[in-house]
Amino acid sequence: MPRLTGARSRVTLPAMFSAKLERQKRFHRLGMLVAATLFATGIVLIAIWAVRASSMLTAADANRAPIIIGVLIALAGLFALCIVAYGAVRAFGRFPSL
């Protein structure tokens, strides 16, 4: 229930979450930020590699299947790395601060 405080009768709302839940929420956001940054950087690097490899193979008139397979493997590895990074940040957030 809102409380009236002060001379002007400002309405203040009680805290909805405990400090522990707020900390978990902050580390969830930080983990998502780390994973998204890692994913965006990885996508750019994979795209740069794929374009360079494609241009090299175009000059040689070679098969593009190895590039496609390499990109798919790199994406799977990047996805796994993002999940590990998110989990590491969340695990770090579970330890109480000193």
* Cα dist from 31 to 40, 51, 72, whole Å: 14, 30, 24
pTM greater than the 0.75 cutoff: no
Which tens digit of pLDDT belongs to each residue from 46-93? 999 999 988 887 766 678 788 889 999 999 999 999 999 999 999 998
Q: How far apart are the first and last CA of the chain?
A: 34
Task: Please enumerate in sequence order all residues whose Cβ is within 8 A of that of 54, keeping only pairs 6 or more positions apart, or say none.
Answer: 64, 67
Beta-bridged to residue 4, according to DSSP, are: 11
Yes or no: say if 45 and 70 are a contact pair by the CB < 8 Å rule: no
Q: How far apart are CA 32 and CA 34, in angstroms?
A: 5
